[in-house]
Structure 1
Amino acid sequence: MLTQIVSERFPRVKLWRRTLAFLIDFLVIWMIGGLFAAILPILPFFILFLAFWLAYRVVLVSRNHGQSLGRYALDVTLVDSRFNSVPQLLILSKREGILGLAAALAAIGLNAISLNPAGILLVIPLVVDCGFAWTEDSRRAFHDRVAKTLVVGSRRGYSLDLKVKRLVAELTRNMK
C-alpha cells in the first residue's frame, strides 16, 4: 500500500534506463577493480570489486542525493519507499550488498570467459536478481524488494539518454 503511494508520487523509470545506469556503474567499478587487482595481485579481484562497489554505491550515493555516476548520467535516483527520502547507510548497505555480490560474480565470470566459457554461468545470479523487475508492474528487482527502495526519475542529472537521442537525430538529419 505504502509502495503504491510513493510510486504514484515519484515518476517511475523505464527498465532500459535503470539497466544502462547500472551498466555505467558496473563498468566503472570493473575497470577500477581490475586496475587495482593488477597493481595489488595479493588481494583477490572479488574483494577489491566488493570494496569499491560498496564505497561507490553506498558512501557516494548517500552523500549524492541517491545518485551514483550512472544514475546521475540518466536522471535517476534511489528513494526509500517508507520515508520518501535517500535511503540510510544500513538500507543502502543491505541493497548494495545483495547487488554487489551478484555483480562481483558476474565480473569474475566475464573476466574468466576467455579461459573458461563456463564462467558465463556466474552471470546467472545477477540476471535472477534483476529479473524480478520484469515480473510485475512495480518494476522492483529482488534487492529493491529486500531493502524497500525504489528507483525513480529525478530532475537532477546530466540527461545522457536525451543528449544521445538528440545527437543521433541530428546525425540522421545531416546524412539525408
Structure 2
Amino acid sequence: MSSDLVPPTYPKVPTWRRSAALGTDLFVVWLLSSLLSFNGVLRFFLFILLWLSLRVFLVAKNQGQSLGRWAFDQKVIDFRYSRTPGILELSRREGVMGICVYLATLGLSGLVSGNAGILLFWIPISVDCGLALFDTTRNPQTFHDRLGRTIIVGTQRGYSLDIKIRRWVDKIKKDMK
C-alpha cells in the first residue's frame, strides 16, 4: 500500500454519530421523494437525484457538510489534500452510498408488506459500512470512503444536535425526580 493511501490523524467521529448524520440525510431525501409519490424507476431516479444534490453538490459548496453532518458536527474531507473533496470524488462516494441506501429503504418497505426476503436489500449497506467496523486504523473508512479517498472528521462547525438532545434528556430526567 502506498503512503498516499494512509490517512493522517484527524478527530475521530464515533460510528453512532456518523449513522445519525446518515439517517438525517436519508430521512430528508426519503421524505422529499415520497411526497412526490412516484413508483418504480422514476422514484429511484428522483431519490438518487435528491441524494446527490444533498450529499454531493451541497457538500461541495458547504465546506464538506451535508445537512446531517452539519447537525452532528462532522464533515467529509479528501485526506490526501486535507480539503473538501471535489465533485468527482463526492460523486463516486455518494453514488455507491445512494444505491446502498435506496436498497435499504426498499428492504424496510418490504417489511411493511410482509416480505421478509426483501431484507436481502440490506446486504450492500451492511457490507459497505461494515468495513469501517473492522478497520483498525485511527480513522476507519467504509467502502464508499475508500472509493472516494475521503474520511469523515469531527469539526467545530455545526449545530451539535447530539449534545442538545443529551441536555434535553438530562433536563427531563432531572425534572422527573
- How far does residue 4 in structure 1 lie from its aligned partner after superposition? 5.1
Counterpart CA distance in 2 for 1:55 and 1:92 is 11
Counterpart CA distance in 2 for 1:79 and 1:28 is 22
Identity, % of aligned positions:
40
Counterpart CA distance in 1 for 2:63 and 2:160 is 16
Equivalent runs, 1:27-66 vs 2, <5 Å: 27-36=27-36, 38=37, 40-41=38-39, 44-66=42-64
Counterpart CA distance in 2 for 1:108 and 1:168 is 32
Q: Which runs of 5+ in 2 are unaligned?
A: none
TM-score normalised by the chain length of structure 1: 0.91
Check whether the contact 2:21–2:69 (CA below 8 A) recurs between aligned residues: yes
Counterpart CA distance in 2 for 1:143 and 1:30 is 20
Counterpart CA distance in 1 for 2:125 and 2:91 is 17
Check whether the contact 2:145–2:151 (CA below 8 A) recurs between aligned residues: yes
Equivalent runs, 1:1-176 vs 2, <5 Å: 1-2=3-4, 6=8, 8=9, 10-36=10-36, 38=37, 40-41=38-39, 44-115=42-113, 116-138=115-137, 139-176=140-177
Check whether the contact 2:64–2:84 (CA below 8 A) recurs between aligned residues: yes
- Please give the secondary structure, in 1, of the residue aligned with 2:69: helix
Check whether the contact 1:71–1:77 (CA below 8 A) recurs between aligned residues: yes
Give the letter for the 1:159 counterpart: S
- How far does residue 79 in structure 1 lie from its aligned partner after superposition? 0.4
Q: Which runs of 5+ in 1 are unaligned?
A: none
TM-score normalised by the chain length of structure 2: 0.91
Report how many residues are paired.
Answer: 172
Check whether the contact 1:46–1:108 (CA below 8 A) recurs between aligned residues: no
Counterpart CA distance in 2 for 1:108 and 1:33 is 13
